[in-house]
Amino acid sequence: MMNDIYCRYEEESVNLTKELIKIPSGHADGPEIYEYTLNYLKEQGVDARFQNFENPFVTYTEFKNIILVLGNGKGPKVMINGHLDTVMPKKGWFYNPYSGEEIDGKIYGVGASDMKAGCAAAIASILKLVDSKKEINGTLFLSLVFGEEAAYSFGSDTLLREHSFKNYDFIIVTEPSPVLAENSYCVSHKKIHKTKYPVIVVGAEGRVLFEVEFFGKSSHASQPSLGINAIHDAAKFIQALDDFDLYSNIKMGRGHYNSLSVKGGTEGFTIPDYCIIQVNRNLIVGENPKTAISEIKRVIKKIKPRSKVVVTKRYTPSPQHEYNPYLFENNPFINKFKEVIPKENEKELCDFTTRSVGDFNFFGTRTKVPTLVFGPGGGNIHSANEFVYKEDIKKTTRYLYEFFNKIF
């Protein structure tokens, strides 16, 4: 009978994923996803509510975080988090992006992998725990937030302004960990290698955005020596970054660069006197925006541009909205989580990091609480034909439940 109950919740996590996919929840969509999810939780008999907290940096109010707190407080304190918002659909979909269509073990839709399946697994695992345990000896805090896919993670920022979680033992974010760990550093093996579900992510790189402006001098293009070509200097800078961008990892070396946009040029047959480049610089543990901007200035000095060059860190509302790196190793709660996941060929589960940034950066750096990313795998996130693996959703629900049952 108990096994039937457990299977029911694993199946429910799949059904809930499909229902959540059917509700558009991009930045241009309404609050329906939050209203639906809150009502769903209440219908299951748990006392979930909207977080009513005024964040001075949020100018809109139609989206609200959902929170649920369970337990008697006499034991471990764990927060589990997911974001219900998604990117807007891209071009090129073969399927209806809001259908939740299942084909060959894959469920398709905007946000399927990032991260409505993770939210569904978190919810189902908690409902399964409530159904099977008379009392939760500790505190289990569920947060389902808005704004992760927009700049500055205002949903999680709002959550942290009311709830610091600094006295908590562990935080789990159910992002698609196999996807986030792709092409990222494995702390266990000290190298980058392939990922395969189940994957745990114990650290994340940070990021900072710079604008690099080149101020040249215009002249008739038939006499380029009379001018200073800002685009040529900008091209030298981009090439220098590419040459400089050697291999690094989250613990050693430095983060990598990406040139995200280039704007410049003039109309007519004229030497361009202005060019601006937006540069992303990932940050590893021990780095910060100040060290990164010093490095950029050294690169600029090396290429000896004729243009005047100005480097500006892009605006962030406050230092708390920076995406800083973190890494948690050999943590007892991470080790306990590993214990509930079956070993494959007697191999220990790897500790991966991610080059991506998200709400987990805020939790890992602002609370200092060990933060683990663990969720179902999939593919094509932030692009057409996004999907999540059905079996990964069910297994994620199972492993989360078994971890909660073990510690509470």
Dump pLDDT digits (tens) for 118-162: 999 999 999 999 999 999 999 999 999 999 998 899 999 999 999
**φ, ψ of residue 278 in degrees (nearest 5):** -100, 125
pLDDT tens per residue, range 165-196: 999 999 999 999 999 999 999 999 998 889 99
pLDDT tens per residue, range 305-343: 999 999 999 989 999 999 999 999 989 999 999 999 998
Find, among 7, 36, 34, 31, the residue nearest to 19 by Cα. Answer: 36
Position 250 confidence tier, pLDDT thresholds 50, 70, 90:
confident
**Residue 254: predicted pLDDT:** 74
What span, in angstroms and rounded, lies between the C-alpha atoms of 323 and 311?
19
Are 282 and 255 a contacting pair, CB within 8 Å? yes
Report the run of H or E that residue 334 belongs to, with start and end.
Answer: helix 332-339
DSSP secondary structure of 340-406 = TSPPBTTBPPPEEEES--SHHHHIIIII---EEE----EE-TTSTT-EEEHHHHHHHHHHHHHHHHH
What span, in angstroms and rounded, lies between the C-alpha atoms of 135 and 288?
44
* Token representation of residue 184: 């990222």
Q: What number is the average pLDDT over the span 203-229? A: 95
Position 41 confidence tier, pLDDT thresholds 50, 70, 90:
very high
DSSP label at residue 126? H
- Grouping H, G, I as helix, E, B as strand and the rest as coil, residue 264 is strand
Position 1 confidence tier, pLDDT thresholds 50, 70, 90:
very low
**Residue 3: predicted pLDDT:** 61
What span, in angstroms and rounded, lies between the C-alpha atoms of 364 and 323?
10
What span, in angstroms and rounded, lies between the C-alpha atoms of 90 and 86?
11
Instruction: Express as a percent the part of the chain with pLDDT over 90.
Output: 83
* Token representation of residue 186: 């494995």
H helices of 44-82, where?
A: none
Q: Please name every residue paired with 185 in a beta bridge, in sequence order, or none if there are none.
A: 192
Mean pLDDT highest for which of 51-65, 260-274, 337-351, 380-394?
Answer: 380-394
CATH homologous superfamily of 2-205+325-407 equals Zn peptidases (3.40.630.10)
Position 60 confidence tier, pLDDT thresholds 50, 70, 90:
confident
Q: What is the value of pTM for the model shown?
A: 0.93
- Grouping H, G, I as helix, E, B as strand and the rest as coil, residue 25 is coil
Position 33 confidence tier, pLDDT thresholds 50, 70, 90:
very high
For residue 6, pLDDT beyond 80:
no
- In sign, the C-alpha dihedral spanning 241, 248, 355, 251 is negative
**Residue 79: predicted pLDDT:** 98
pLDDT tens per residue, range 101-116: 999 999 999 999 999 9
- CATH number belonging to the domain at 207-318, selected among 3.20.20.70, 3.30.470.20, 1.10.10.10, 3.30.70.360: 3.30.70.360
What are the counts of helices (DSSP H) followed by strands (DSSP E) for the chain? Answer: 10, 19
Other beta carbons within 10 Å of 217? 16
Position 344 confidence tier, pLDDT thresholds 50, 70, 90:
confident
* Token representation of residue 187: 């702390």
* Token representation of residue 321: 């909205």
Q: What number is the average pLDDT over the span 43-69? A: 93
| Average pLDDT, rounded, for the chain | 93
Are 308 and 237 a contacting pair, CB within 8 Å? no
More confident position, 401 or 243: 401
* Token representation of residue 310: 């100005």
**φ, ψ of residue 383 in degrees (nearest 5):** -150, 180
- Grouping H, G, I as helix, E, B as strand and the rest as coil, residue 313 is strand
Are 326 and 371 a contacting pair, CB within 8 Å? yes
Domains 2-205+325-407 and 207-318 share a fold: no
Amino acid (one-letter) located at 10:
E
Q: Domain ranges in the chain?
A: 2-205+325-407, 207-318
Position 10 confidence tier, pLDDT thresholds 50, 70, 90:
very high
Position 248 confidence tier, pLDDT thresholds 50, 70, 90:
low
Beta strands at 200-204 and 351-354: parallel, antiparallel or unpaired: parallel
